[in-house]
Structure 1
């Protein structure tokens, strides 16, 4: 039985080298697959030479720390989807396209996923079923659209729509992250400055007030108490903050906590408006993409409902789905909830009457994309001065509380 020196990838994306005996390369490949190893290169060798090479490789093996941080990002998935659609449109078969993508991908973890998908497709599985084995990489929305594309025979078209959808979602997410970066940095900086003043500077200055016979102002007493508390019980404060955060997170995971928290967010003046617009944009764009890809309306609503990120709005979609199942149109069901603005329900109603619901939903998504950008700018414009005012009030309180008794000492000395 011949011996083969092989290299492959484990299920975790780790490079694996070794030597094994098998009747042929196909038998070796099947044996390694059972062990969770995906073959990437193989050469026939003698058993002795293979054992020596294996031992040498084991001695020289080093830990690649970069693999510990290797993960499949939504940007990678979007790029892969676009390239796969381009290859299929050019007439390349699906197995060949998957093999080409596997060779091009740099992430070892993603390479392992695509290798397994390619193997399953070559064995006769559908692309959607092969991708469904990796829900963290390809979510339910993605898999259902691929399945609809395969059923309709327009897989490349669905891939292009899906790629555009993923890029749009990434764009919205990046806008929100960029807009929130500056206020968050200001908040952290302000908290750090005030903490530094309380712990490092205030105790040294307020020590001179201890021997004063005069009554200290209330704000100075409060400052001294706060400084002593933070300096002496900082560990208890950190522990309390951690406990409150843990308790809040646990409460939010309960059904009552999710309902109360999400309902409260929607009622906030500026934040609630932004959350609602993001949800409406996501709802419209996703539903339009699913319907255009051939997914049935009721099934599409089930998928969309899981993407809104707010249980109040999710419940609205669930009730609308039940009403549609009983023969009602989607627009009246959404209008009754009061959670969707009249403009949205009116445009959806027009789309239903004209038979152009997908196009009208796309128009709603584009409209609310612009509204989302405006709300993000408004929120950023509100948070930035608030953070500056917060820092100014905190530092001003410390300075005033220190200077007021110093001025009192000066007046007492002068008299």
Structure 2
């Protein structure tokens, strides 16, 4: 009987076969007996024998790594069916032959795809046993809203789960069970169902406008396109944290001035509604002439008590008119351009956009997204119509052959330092790294500007409130002094 050929480097000397052929299902039990120095240990290794992925079961003898016997098992490599999104946002499906699930995820990510669901072939999903009639459709999410802190927790935990090698489908399933807040569970359940239905993650987020702002949705779309969704989610966590810290710093800086403002308004209201009528009656009795500040104050009191309903209508009408104006294309463009010109506040908006633009563009370029596609995505996250149109115009210039630094410089929306550093990155071939450096520079500038503004706001509010209260008090006291002077010189 012919001897079997060598298989994958396992020599005939080390493969104890006696006069029997190695065949599927063959097992040599002579080595399975206990030894004085220890029992042989049985392990399974993956090998490629005769062109097919099969499992070789080997025995390790006496603690030494020496194959004393083996068994060729006739079992194929496990198969995993998957669903993923490619760089163009298209849904792709297929089957992979892998030793385990982690290798399947790694192979999908190497193809620049975002894995959505991975299941072993022949294994029914957990929800397959549930009856379709028992499944409740997700509640409407157009009006669903969750606290900012819950959105931050959801984004951060999802990013960590994806970094750990889980798919979006699995990450959302885990978060649905882990996060106990009812609205967050409803949101997570709806997102999970959207993925099962075949929609992309960014499309599912876009259906919840009160939870996920356009910046969030478009950055996730960029992460899906670049294959760097976990990194983008962590970037969003940083952005949300910075926005929360900014609001917290401003709120803390305004606590004391707000207290003074409320006290000042309460004091002015008491003076106008209580003191002024009594002062009017007192001056009518003595017949004295009222000073000019007091007459102005009395006219204000008369207007407030008589036409208060008109003031409410004016405020409501102005608010509705402003909202309607900014909803038009021209109105929004005018308002967004005006916001950029507001002292201090406009500077904060510009520096925040410089940091956000450069950070996002650098991330996209570093993950292999073409420049024109990157500019499309970056223009959508501006949150300012005026800046968005300027980026679109710069993109047209790039199509015509200009460099991005030259195109942005001609739009006069970025400072010279920004475009000069960008030009250096273009010339050295390190554009992505340079954009990250620019983002670091303007994030530090943003923090410095916010710190300055938070220090300037309290004294400004104190001065304004003190001035108004002082004028009211002066108007009342001047009338009292005038009345006292008239009484002193009146003939008896």
Whether 1:210 and 2:284 are equivalent positions in the alignment is yes
Tell me how far 1:319 sits from its aligned partner: 0.8
Cα distance, 1:188 vs. partner?
Answer: 4.8
Q: Distance in 1 between matches of 2:423 and 2:430?
A: 10
Please tell me whether residue 405 in structure 1 is matched to residue 482 in structure 2. no
Deviation at 1:165, TM superposition (A): 4.2
Report the equivalent of 1:308.
Answer: 382
CA deviation after TM superposition for structure 1 residue 361, in Å = 2.1
- 2:427 alignment counterpart: 353
1:111–1:311 distance in 2 versus 1, CA, 3 Å: same
User: Corresponding residue for 2:463?
Assistant: 389
Tell me the distance in 2 between the aligned counterparts of 1:180 and 1:409: 40
Give the alignment of 1:54-65 within 5 angstroms.
none
Q: What is aligned with 1:111?
A: 185
Q: Give the TM-score of the pair, scaled to structure 1.
A: 0.74
Cα contact 2:218–2:380 (8 A) shared by 1: no
Paired position in structure 1 for 2:450: 376
1:3-47, CA deviations, whole angstroms, 9 ceiling, x for partnerless residues?
xxxxxxxxxxxxxxxxxxxxxx857532244x5159xxxxxxxxx
Ranges in structure 1 where 5+ consecutive residues have no aligned partner: 1-24, 39-68
Does 1:273 pair with 2:347?
A: yes
Q: Residues of 2 paired with 1:241 and 1:338: CA distance?
A: 37
Structure 1 residues 374 and 186 mapped into 2: Cα distance closer, same or farther (>3 Å)?
farther
Asked if the contact 1:308–1:314 (Cα under 8 Å) also holds between the matched residues in 2, the reply is yes
Deviation per residue, 1:309-329 (Å, 9 max, x gap)? 332222211111211222222
What is the distance in 1 between the residues matched to 2:475 and 2:209? 57
Q: Corresponding residue for 1:220?
A: 294
Q: Which residue of 1 aligns with 2:111?
A: none
Quote the Cα distance in structure 2 between the aligned partners of 1:147 and 1:407: 71
Q: Say what the alpha-carbon RMSD is for the aligned residues.
A: 3.2
Conserved? CA contact 1:199–1:230, under 8 Å: no
Q: Distance in 1 between matches of 2:226 and 2:335?
A: 41
Structure 2: how far apart are the matches of 1:279 and 1:262? 13
Answer yes or no: is 1:253 the counterpart of 2:253.
no
Q: 1:80 aligns with which of 140, 146, 154?
A: 154
Q: SS where residue 131 of structure 2 aligns?
A: helix
Distance 2:356 2:255 in 1: 22
Q: Which has the larger radius of gyration?
A: 2
Does structure 2 conserve the Cα–Cα contact (< 8 Å) formed by 1:263 and 1:312?
yes
1:414 and 2:488 aligned: yes
Q: Distance in 2 between matches of 1:166 and 1:290?
A: 19
Of structures 1 and 2, the one scoring higher in RCO (CA 8 A, sep 6+) is 1
In the comparison of the two structures, how many residue pairs are matched? 360
Aligned to 2:137: 36
Q: Distance in 2 between matches of 1:124 and 1:70?
A: 22
Please identify which structure carries the higher helix content: 1
Question: Gaps (5+ residues) in structure 2?
Answer: 1-126
**Residues 159 and 407 of structure 1: is their aligned pair in 2 closer, same or farther, counting only changes over 3 Å?**
closer
Matches of 2:388 and 2:165, distance apart in 1: 41
Q: Residues 150-299 of structure 1 correspond to what in structure 2 (within 5 A)?
A: 155-179=229-253, 183=257, 186-299=260-373
- Asked if the contact 1:179/1:376 (under 8 Å) is kept, the reply is no
What is the CA-CA distance between 1:132 and the residue it aligns to? 5.1
Distance 1:196 1:412, change over 3 A: closer
Gap change, CA 1:229 and 1:335, over 3 Å in 2: same
Q: Report runs of 4+ in structure 1 exceeding 6 Å deviation.
A: none
Matches of 1:289 and 1:73, distance apart in 2: 28
| Residue correspondence of structure 1 range 113-128 to structure 2 within 5 A | 113-119=187-193, 121=195, 127-128=201-202
| Residues 226 and 369, structure 2, Cα contact 8 Å, conserved in 1 | no
Q: Deviations over 1:75-134 (max 9, x none)?
A: 434433332333344344554333222110122232233234434545766555555554
Cα 1:309–1:128 change in 2 (3 A) is closer
1:225-271 CA distance string (max 9 Å, x none): 11122123222222222222222332233333323333333233322
